[in-house]
Amino acid sequence: LVKRRGFSTKKIYDAKAGLYSVPVQFRNNKGDLIKLDAVYQDTMPEGGQRATVFAVHGAPGTHADFKYLVPRLKNNNVRMIMPNFPGLGFTPSDPRLCCENEERNEFAQAVLDSVDNLGTTDLIFMGHSRGGENALQIATSELNVEKVRGIVMLNAAGLRIHRGIQPYWTVDYFVRLLDLEVFNFILEPFLYFVYNRIMGLKVPTGEAAAMALRAMRTFGYERILPSVETVNNRPEIKLLHAFSGQDYFIQADVSRELAVKFENRVDLECSTYDSTDVTRATIEAFSGGAQTVSVNFVNEGHFLQKFRAQYLIDVILALVCNTRTCL
């Protein structure tokens, strides 16, 4: 186990954006101890929140992926903490990074452990895309499972290879070339072009594009099933699994295959722009005793936290009210 710090060592990274940096240490899958300054966003660093959402972005991705959720959640006294994974634009990289889930989870946990004024408020873990399974695993770890009250998985990967990383051999081949380093002066600009111009995913540099690709080789697939089982065995944990019918990267049948592993589940669909009905149905399902609600937004793409932000805000606030007295 990595020893956590005993006093606050955070520094202001960007006061206007609510960004902070804190020294953290964690181990990669080879056992190497990695130390770096993690950059994260904290919307209520002074504390006083009634609940905290710990949100994990995808690859590529940053804290800004959740910017459409921040204002209203903060106005309703719900704090958001969003770590930036190493090498993707804010937190510095390290050549020893493996990007395996164990490493990613340790990094995110180190950031969470460094945060001041958490108190005993309820924790909700949220993850988008590559971060979906990390949010699930972190929430169900021994360190957090007694405190977590909700998990939100958005456009998360499933139990088998999805469209966005097919054919898989190309991902593996490019990562192996990157490991050689001698071709990186060609590969990194090429990957920057592919991510920004072809895939439509914003990355700040070629180095960040290469790091994002590394994370595409390390999905957990069926190795996340123990975390699913932990959720099933803890009825006090509510889980929202939201996916999209027009997701270019993760096809709907892959998402459904994951959803059916969660027990005491209600499945919903929304094919309209207006989220009013599906919001009401989701909240009623949770209040009626369902542990998991899986929602297919039939006509949406890969970024539900942007295009269905109001739905997510309303459901999160309802979950907070269900676990606490709302005045």
How confident is residue 322, by pLDDT bands cut at 50, 70 and 90? confident
Q: Closest Cα to residue 158, out of 187, 132, 176, 191?
A: 132
pLDDT above 90 (res 3):
no
- b/e for 233-247, b at 16 or more Cβ within 10 A? eeeebbbbbbbbbeb
Which comes out higher in pLDDT, residue 120 or 108? 108
pLDDT value, residue 326: 60
- Domain 11-158+227-323 fold: Rossmann fold (3.40.50)
pLDDT above 70 (res 13):
yes
**How much is the average pLDDT of 95-105?**
98
pLDDT value, residue 205: 98
Q: How many CB atoms lie within 10 A of CB 322?
A: 15
**How much is the average pLDDT of 283-290?**
98
Give pLDDT tens digits for 75-85: 999 999 999 99
Strand ranges across the sheet with 11-14: 11-14, 19-27, 33-42, 78-83, 51-56, 122-128, 148-154, 238-244, 292-297, 265-270
pLDDT above 70 (res 6):
no
121, 50 contact by CB (below 8 A): yes
In eight-state DSSP terms, residue 70 is H
pLDDT value, residue 47: 93
Q: Closest Cα to residue 244, out of 204, 288, 299?
A: 299
**How much is the average pLDDT of 261-275?**
98
pLDDT value, residue 327: 42
**How much is the average pLDDT of 148-175?**
98
Least confident of 5-19, 215-229, 245-259: 5-19
The mean pLDDT value of the chain amounts to 96
Is omega for the bond preceding 167 within 30 degrees of 0, making it cis? yes
| H-only helix segments in the chain | 70-75, 101-114, 130-139, 168-180, 184-193, 206-215, 225-232, 252-259, 276-287, 304-307, 309-323
Q: Closest Cα to residue 318, out of 10, 78, 137?
A: 78
**How much is the average pLDDT of 205-234?**
98
Q: Which two tokens stand for residue 66?
A: 């959740």
pLDDT value, residue 121: 79
Q: Torsion angle of alpha carbons 290, 294, 297, 303, nearest 10°?
A: 120
pLDDT value, residue 2: 56
In eight-state DSSP terms, residue 10 is -
How confident is residue 323, by pLDDT bands cut at 50, 70 and 90? low
Nearest-angstrom CA–CA distance, 13 and 40: 9
How confident is residue 324, by pLDDT bands cut at 50, 70 and 90? low
How confident is residue 87, by pLDDT bands cut at 50, 70 and 90? very high
Q: What is the largest CA-CA distance in the chain?
A: 61
Q: Is 231 exposed, middle or buried (0-12, 13-18, 19+ CB in 10 A)?
A: buried
Percent with pLDDT over 70 in the chain: 96
How confident is residue 176, by pLDDT bands cut at 50, 70 and 90? very high
pLDDT above 80 (res 120):
no
Nearest-angstrom CA–CA distance, 259 and 242: 9
**How much is the average pLDDT of 292-297?**
99
Q: Torsion angle of alpha carbons 306, 312, 313, 318, nearest 10°?
A: 180
The DSSP line for 173-221 is HHHHHHHH-TTHHHHHHHHHHIIIIIS----SSHHHHHHHHHHTT---G
Locate the domains of the chain by residue range.
Answer: 11-158+227-323, 164-215
Q: Is 190 exposed, middle or buried (0-12, 13-18, 19+ CB in 10 A)?
A: middle
